Amino acid sequence: MADLTDIGCCSCFSFLRKPRASVPQPRDADGTFSEELLKRQSAEDPDESFYTGDDPDLSLYNGDNLDGSFFNGDDPDRCLYDEDGNDYLDGSDDGPPRKSSEDIIQSRAQNGFACREIPVKETNKVFRSEDENGNKMVNQYVHLGKIGSGSYGKVVLYRNVEDGKLYAVKVLNKPYMMKVRVVRSETAMTDVLREVSIMKMLNHPNIVNLVEVINDPNIDKFYMVLEYVEGKMVCDNGLEEATARNYLRDIIYGLMYLHSHNVIHGDIKPDNLLVTSSGNVKIGDFSVSQVFEDEDDMLWRSPGTPVFTAPECCQGSAYHGRASDTWAVGVTLYCMMSGHYPFLGDTLQETYDKIANDPVQIPGDMNPQLADLIQRLLCKDPGDRITLQAAAEHPWVVGDKGPMPEYICRCGFGRRERNDFRE
């Protein structure tokens, strides 16, 4: 592989800067990085290698993980310590101080910006019992079985005996999460509480809805009750153009709502895009998301998953969250159409090098309008990258569906003048 200093165009975008510390890289027996190590762990978790909250002393790294994550259950390239205990690409302690997510959201509510008409239910007492069939129950929820693994915990299917509906519940172990450090000043529990704070304010048809939080101070478990969405986006063999267009419109629609509310998702990828029985896409997993007080969306902490990481995030310095989310949308669209990643090397560093330097390979038989959109989304320079609004108006996205309607949130925050909120 050529040295980066031999590639002249790199310097234009500052990709020559080396990471502050080497990435902790679990390797195969021959010392090479398996391609599978750069992908997310299967949601089915057949070997139960994902941390399920039952063993607080479980080691932070499971060598069998198939996603390149550096502790059990977390998304790849999130946490990230080298062998000397130094943070890699986290930057949380190096950036300027910011208000906490809860403070920002509370401030918005005090100023009349409330997305949700019905607030998230908060329960501080857990009652364990069994139904008439011997199934375990937590409060009014009947345990039906594990359905997958999310960041930091297992996801379990429950049925609410009061309304008869199914719910996906994240079950998390509080003592364990308070011991796991994701950056110097934050634990895994910090991430979860931030995720809850952000989801409490969200209300959009293309965003997974948080229904209830159960946090009993007398027990070790923390429960996030989420709406149950039947399927997950599967792109292994590529999708038909019409299907990909419908999915992309939903993704853009939901992400534009987030960005208009100064929320950066941070981990857009097929695994976090759930498909309803009617074919609509909902964005889920806000475990690495950030909310900002104003339009300043600079981030220091590393993004979610290596193969969906934007070029500007590979250099280890601050980057704009909205532009990096937009890049991840481009990678997702490429995966939807081709069934594989646009940039993937044999090692984590080689993957980052490809993201930063290699042109995207467009199949010769691809629809020219679609090819143009992908190239604009996967533009290396974030300043020249197409915006989500422009992507929504792109001819391929519009297609025969017509322009994407504007979503009018009841809070009005996304339509405010910038100085209104500051006042």
pLDDT of the chain, 423 residues: tens digit per residue: 333 223 223 222 233 233 333 333 333 433 333 444 454 333 333 222 222 333 333 222 222 332 333 223 333 333 333 333 333 333 344 455 667 777 887 787 777 777 888 899 999 999 999 999 999 999 999 999 999 875 577 999 999 999 999 999 999 999 999 998 887 788 999 999 999 999 999 999 999 999 999 999 999 999 999 999 999 888 888 999 999 999 999 999 999 999 999 999 999 999 999 999 999 999 999 989 999 888 888 888 776 799 999 999 988 789 999 999 999 999 999 999 999 999 999 999 999 999 999 999 999 999 999 999 999 999 999 999 999 999 999 999 999 999 988 888 878 776 554 344 344
The H-or-E segment that residue 149 falls in is strand 141-150
pLDDT at 96 (0 to 100): 55
Residue 131 designated active-site: no
Per-residue model confidence (pLDDT) at position 412:
72
Contacts of 8 (CB under 8 A, 6+ apart): none
pLDDT at residue 73, rounded to an integer: 34
Element (H, E) at 383: none
| 210-215 and 121-123 strand pairing | parallel
What's residue 366's pLDDT? 95
- Domain ranges for the chain, please list them: 1-116+231-423, 117-227
DSSP, res 18: P
Read off the pTM: 0.78
Residue 63's contacts (CB-CB under 8 Å, 6 or more residues apart) are 26
**Number of C-alpha atoms within 13 angstroms, CB side, residue 270?**
26
CATH 1.10.510.10 fits 1-116+231-423, yes or no: yes
* CATH fold group of domain 117-227: Phosphorylase Kinase; domain 1 (3.30.200)
Cβ 173 vs Cβ 54: under 8 Å: yes
Confidence at residue 82, expressed as pLDDT on a 0 to 100 scale: 34
Which residues, at least 6 apart from 96, have a Cβ–Cβ distance to it below 8 Å?
none
Q: Considering 267, 285, 325, 353, which one is annotated as catalytic?
A: 267
Instruction: Collect all residues with Cβ–Cβ distance below 8 Å to 302 and sequence separation of at least 6.
Output: 77, 78, 80, 88, 89, 90, 91, 313
Rg of the chain over CA atoms, in angstroms? Answer: 21
CA proximity to 334, closest of 226, 214, 251, 227: 251
Q: CA-to-CA distance for 53 and 188, rounded, in angstroms?
A: 13
**170 labelled as ligand-binding?**
yes
pLDDT of residue 350: 95
Angle at 81 between CA 76 and CA 85, to 5 degrees: 165
Residue 336 DSSP label: H
The pLDDT of residue 46: 28
Q: Are 302 and 89 in contact (CB under 8 A)?
A: yes
Tokens standing for 373? 């959109």
Q: CA–CA separation, 353 vs 344, rounded Å?
A: 9
CA–CA gap between residue 78 and residue 187 (Å, rounded): 12
Distance CA 317, CA 320 (A): 10
Tell me, what's the pLDDT at 115? 85
